[in-house]
Amino acid sequence: MGRVDDLAERYVDDWAPLSPTGATYVGISGYDDKLDDLSHDGFAAQADLDRRTLTELNAIEPQDQREFVAKEAMVERLGLALARYDAGEVTSDLNVIASALHSMRGVLDLMPTEGEQAASNIAKRLAAFPQALEQYKQTLLADAKSGRVSARKQIVEVAGQCDVWTSADGDDFYLGLARRIEASGALRADLDRGAAAANAATAEFGRFLREELAPLGRAKEAAGRERYELASQYFLGARVDLDETYAWGFDELHRLENEMREVSARIAGPGASIDEAAAKLNQDPRYLIRGKEQFRDWMQQLAEKAISDLNGTHFDIPEAIQRIECRIAPTSDGGIYYTGPSEDFSRPGRMWWAVPAGVDEFATWQEVTTVYHEGAPGHHLQVGQAAYNAEKLNRWQRLLCWCSGHGEGWALYSERLMDDLGYLADPADKLGMLDGQAFRAARVIVDIGMHLELEIPRDNPFGFHPGERWTPELGWEFLRAHCRVGDEQLRFELNRYLGWPGQAPSYKVGERIWLQARDDAKARQGAAFDLRQFHSDALDLGALGLDPLRAALARL
């Protein structure tokens, strides 16, 4: 191992005690009974580690090309993490999908529940909720009083999530978790006390958000250009021209909807609209599944088939990541997401769906491409291969390096790739893929437009409010007109964009950069270009920002 790798390995060792929650997420053992220090000092300790590591990194000369890529990746990721911390984003940010609160709740989904040690870890972690959330309250309050605070509406939405998680007629998350774990005697008492403490602390945190923090929140939900530029660079790992990207979003959505109309005609007859084709598919029993468990089983079967089909043909999939689990999440927030395997692969990669309350019927034509996105060749292959690749990637690269534009861009690229490989021959599945692509293109327009409060082009191809400035209300109207998503889930999506500026476009913009990188490789290699080798070379680099990715691929 070279000096860059040595430093990266030490970073993981120093980071895990600072982020026990994060350690569980990536599968590092030994920290499952603890929570992060969410005080200002706790956040500062993480920033200090990043700062020290960057100073040491900048003094190291990489030994070879592999270490050069590792250094580039680490400098870029840690540098932007520090930039966000120094701007006050890390300690003040609160939104409906990504915050310290959501990490604390979500990590419990990944913890083993069988055996005394597992039950004891959960009991201790639940019992730590009151202190951690009290620290978080003080951090958020101090930042708010100094002028760094999330939008008022976002704060109130998170308070509502606290209500649902802790309510007996909602998710009843903490108490329900404790009830599902087999334990007796003192351990049973610890579990029940811990669950009651976590439940009460989360409910109290919701009250704090609504009554104390929300009055200090920003009235305007738009981030503004300065904050958005930093967020965009962080999520993409690349600098892009936001105004050009915004204009491209309109062109891309228009292109996709034209293609969707062509496919719709094959489904519902000449001249059929997209909505007419979707309505026909939603009434076709071949594409309908009733029951969450039945839908989970369908996802599991399709994910396993994709891995089996792709392995040895278009990809070489190591045995350790040929296993995937599909699960229904224990909450009803509406998100679909992937969690990676543990470091030793005892916990497999998992595809999750937090099904909204009341939803019990699923249209599979829309979700085939979702399985490819979250499973193989999407996140499961990408994340799993990086975790497995100890010969080419250091521990930081395997476990901690993540860039949304790289990861979500690859997963969206994978959806299109499966069409190219012939897996979406059914027009219904093809329409589902295009619908998902269009959804992500609409995100580019709405996210950039709302946060920068841009003017809607007077000549936009949809005739949508030409010349007006974007508002959240116009964002909702545009999404409803162009996305075939239920209102409850779509409302969650809009709230997510408003609270997490710059993340939503990383899917489509990331895919755009992946496609450009592939085209550049084709141009360089000519007749020698091999798609399977391109994918292998790209995934062997591990996760990294998209600017470092393009530079690394150009050197291959």
372 vs 299: CA distance, rounded Å: 10
* 222 token code pair: 């738009």
Residue 86 lies in a domain: yes
Using left for φ > 0, alpha for ψ between -120 and 50, and beta otherwise, residue 167 falls in beta
Residue 496 lies in a domain: yes
376 vs 378: CA distance, rounded Å: 5
Residues 210 and 299 placed together within one structural domain of the fold: no
Residues 109 and 139 placed together within one structural domain of the fold: yes
Q: What is the 3-state secondary structure (H, E, C) of 426-479?
A: CHHHHHHHHHHHHHHHHHHHHHHHHHHCCECCCCCCCCCCCCCECCHHHHHHHH
Which neighbouring-strand residues pair with 315?
311
Has this prediction a pTM greater than 0.85? yes
Q: Check residue 205 and give its pLDDT.
A: 98
Residues 183 and 112 placed together within one structural domain of the fold: yes
Where helices occur in 93-218 by DSSP H, the ranges are 100-107, 116-127, 129-145, 152-166, 173-180, 185-208
543 vs 521: CA distance, rounded Å: 18
Residues 246 and 202 placed together within one structural domain of the fold: no
Q: Check residue 15 and give its pLDDT.
A: 98
pLDDT digits (tens, 9 = 90+) for 374-409: 999 999 999 999 999 999 999 999 999 999 999 999
* β-pair type (288-290, 336-339): unpaired
pLDDT > 90 in the chain, percent: 94
Residues 169 and 194 placed together within one structural domain of the fold: yes
- Domain final position from 221, 244, 269: 221
- Domain final position from 221, 247, 271: 221
* 34 token code pair: 């603890």
Residue 427 lies in a domain: yes
* β-pair type (288-290, 361-363): antiparallel
- The DSSP element (H or E) to which 353 belongs, if any, is strand 349-353
- Domain final position from 221, 252, 273: 221
Bond before 20 cis per omega within 30 degrees? no
Q: Check residue 1 and give its pLDDT.
A: 55
Residue 20 lies in a domain: yes
SS3 407: helix
The DSSP-derived string for 283-312 is T-GGGEEESHHHHHHHHHHHHHHHHHHHBT
328 vs 175: CA distance, rounded Å: 18
Residues 464 and 405 placed together within one structural domain of the fold: yes
Residues 240 and 305 placed together within one structural domain of the fold: yes
120 vs 134: CA distance, rounded Å: 23
- Residue 139's domain comprises 3-221
Residues 214 and 296 placed together within one structural domain of the fold: no
Residue 135 lies in a domain: yes
Low-confidence ranges of the chain (pLDDT < 70): 1
Residues 33 and 117 placed together within one structural domain of the fold: yes
Residues 163 and 265 placed together within one structural domain of the fold: no
Task: Supply the Cα-derived Rg of the chain in whole angstroms.
Answer: 23
106 vs 202: CA distance, rounded Å: 13
Residues 215 and 240 placed together within one structural domain of the fold: no
Q: Check residue 358 and give its pLDDT.
A: 83
Residues across the chain? 556
Residue 55 lies in a domain: yes
Beta carbons of 369 and 507 less than 8 angstroms apart: no
Residue 259 lies in a domain: yes
Torsion of CA 229, 235, 240, 243, to 10 degrees: -60
126 vs 260: CA distance, rounded Å: 48
Residue 525 lies in a domain: no
Q: Check residue 555 and give its pLDDT.
A: 86
Domain total in the chain: 2
* 289 token code pair: 């599944």
Q: Check residue 331 and give its pLDDT.
A: 87
Residues 213 and 256 placed together within one structural domain of the fold: no
Note the Cα 486 to chain centre separation in Å.
20
